[in-house]
A and B are shown apart, each in its own frame.
Chain A
């Protein structure tokens, strides 16, 4: 096992899948010679050539629209949108076609494509480089929406996404790209899409998070144990759609208390869906109102203020304590 950053783990997954299956192609802006602006596709063009690692014109809709055609023809395109903030230029291709081709053709054609993009804040970037709009894609029937939280889950989920027969939107938390290393096994490892993970067990409260919010949530859980003697269970959603209801609903039946954490704006965010499902499935076990610790319903501020905006350990702790003391 090697210790890898998320960037290295994603790169490893792409190398491995491309070696294994010549229908896998990578396309996007600067993904070839440059290796991607975050270097996730580094070295692919040397090994697989420019026909399989396609430096496209600067055109998001074309990256997605041609991926759809390639996928229908039997390829497995892995497209990259340089930042999720630019994915709206291709939104209609995802909503109107990628998501619908299987349905429209009654199973005759399907679109086994992956669209990777860095999302969320924390790297002091320009406007349009820091937002979290996973709800757009999770709200679109026909798409799957995946967000890994660390190197190992990123590698395993990307493998699954590439092998999945349906279009998968793959958000990569850019603040995690190089934040820490994890052991990632050399041999292929996948994780089923649509399955959450209990990453810390506890019986007093359930903290539900994903993506870049997992680390501060785990830290908050540790502080709850150290400072309050509270055992928090932490769930990493990993897939936003299809959402694994069972894992968090069961956990909350055990703990009776829940906090949902995400960077995305609160209203109509993934947390709203999680809370709704908890109300539907675990209402009679609830001991206290569920808290949402999320981004505010504003445009994420320019980076001088982004750390103030982003939910962090203190805000998660405050949410958890409010629930615990209710």
Chain B
């Protein structure tokens, strides 16, 4: 009876193209058209500034709680930039930057965190699923979408996002396992931001990397510098092409850092040091990319200033428009009965009428 080593022909790659100061590794530099590079930068910047604006709005009580993306712009915008419009994106709840890249409006996102049912409406023709709050559960929806694509013979891809914490959930396992067995065209993007509220990455798993978990499911896994948009874009492009051409799923671990709070209800000083946050500030994805663009002659200080102004105006307009809309919608509480079923059953019609009468009576007594 032998007792010998099973030789598994597997490996996990690590990819980084821009160093921490934004200097490019010329051997690895991808050939991305200038317009696309500018677009990547614009959306990262928009994501950052929109995030900062939302945090202020929340602190002022103008919207409810949300999950900021600060520091994670490259690990979500790089991957979705590899998708086609008719592909599908299945987010968790910290992907505002990716959602905007994929055609969702800032107004829609503000309305969601403003607490309105109507925010769920997706703009026509956008293949994004809504925000999924229970951690890791959305992974399976992407796998089901992928199964549908394969079944129908569509050359599409489903990309789903989740965090390091989600890799401890059962649905992460079930999803990757199912995708591996059925070779569904799915790209699993893990934004390893090091913290699941107060639990550090090291407490989620004893695995050295999250990417290596892919090997057990029979799919390629790659770890990338999640604060390097060239690396996230390249890794995702390879994974999307593989999935589209029938090569099955991939797990991408984007190593990044949540520089802000988990959600606005969280106080990170209870569990992590300022020094750690400062270290990651030095590896800011936007600053690094700006250095690269400047080196390539694609961005000047003046252009940056103009772009920032343009973005701030867009955000201001979106906030103004949304606040107006929230005022208009404030009196439309009856929508809570909408879209429960294709057709409202009799007992729900009764309950809806009960609320309508209550609201009418209130209106009467107020008037």
Interface, chain A (partner B; CB < 8 A): 25, 51-52, 54, 56-57, 59, 61-62, 64-75, 77, 89, 92-93, 96-97, 101-110, 141-142, 144, 164-166, 194, 242-243, 245-246
Residues on the A chain within 8 Å of B342, using CB: 102, 110, 164-166
Chain B, range 304-333, C-beta contacts under 8 Å to A: none
A77 to B138, CA, bound (A): 17
Alpha-carbon distance A92/B171, docked complex (angstroms): 10
- A52, A62, A68, A77 — most chain B CB neighbours (10 Å): A62
Chain A CB within 8 A of B177 CB: yes
B253-284 vs A, CB cutoff 8 Å, 1 = contact: the mask equals 00000000000000000000000000000000
What is the CA–CA distance of A107 and B25 in the complex, to the nearest angstrom? 47
Report how many A-B pairs have Cβ atoms within 8 Å.
142
| C-alpha spacing A165/B170, complex, angstroms | 28
When the two chains form their complex, are residues B118 and A92 in contact, meaning their CB atoms are under 8 A apart? no
Chain A minimum-CB-distance residue to B176: A62
Type the 1/0 row for B136-161, where 1 means its CB is closer than 8 Å to any CB of A. Answer: 01111111111111011000001000
Q: Is there an interface contact between B141 and A65, defined as CB atoms closer than 8 Å?
A: yes
Contact A61 B347 (CB under 8 A): no
Residue of A nearest to B142 (CB): A69
B134 contacts which chain A residues (CB < 8 A)?
92, 96
Are A61 and B171 closer than 8 Å at their CB atoms? yes
Q: Does B300 lie at the interface of the complex (its beta carbon under 8 Å from any beta carbon of A)?
A: no
- Measured CB to CB, the nearest residue on chain B to A74 is B148
Main secondary structure, interface of B, reads helix
In this complex, the member of B133, B148, B338 whose beta carbon has the largest number of chain A beta carbons within 10 angstroms is B148
Closest residue on chain B to residue A108 by CB atoms? B122
Q: Which chain A residues border B339 with CB–CB below 8 Å? A: 102-103, 105-107
Q: Jot down 26 A-B pairs with beta carbons below 8 A, ordered by A.
A: A57-B181, A59-B177, A61-B170, A62-B140, A62-B143, A65-B174, A66-B141, A69-B140, A69-B148, A73-B147, A73-B149, A75-B148, A92-B137, A93-B171, A102-B340, A103-B340, A105-B120, A105-B122, A106-B118, A106-B121, A106-B339, A107-B338, A109-B122, A164-B342, A166-B341, A245-B346
Closest to A51 in B: B151
B contacts with A, residue count (CB < 8 A): 44
Interface hub of B141, B146, B182, B346 (most chain A Cβ within 10 A): B141
Other CB < 8 Å A-B pairs besides A69-B142, A72-B141, 15 of them?
A52-B151, A57-B181, A59-B174, A62-B177, A65-B137, A65-B139, A68-B141, A73-B147, A75-B151, A93-B140, A96-B134, A105-B339, A107-B338, A242-B347, A245-B347
Q: Interface centre among A73, A96, A144, by most B CB within 10 Å?
A: A73
Interface centre among A54, A75, A108 (most CB of B within 10 A): A108
Chain B residues with CB under 8 A of A102: 339-342
Contact residues in A for B141 (Cβ distance below 8 Å): 65-66, 68-69, 72, 97
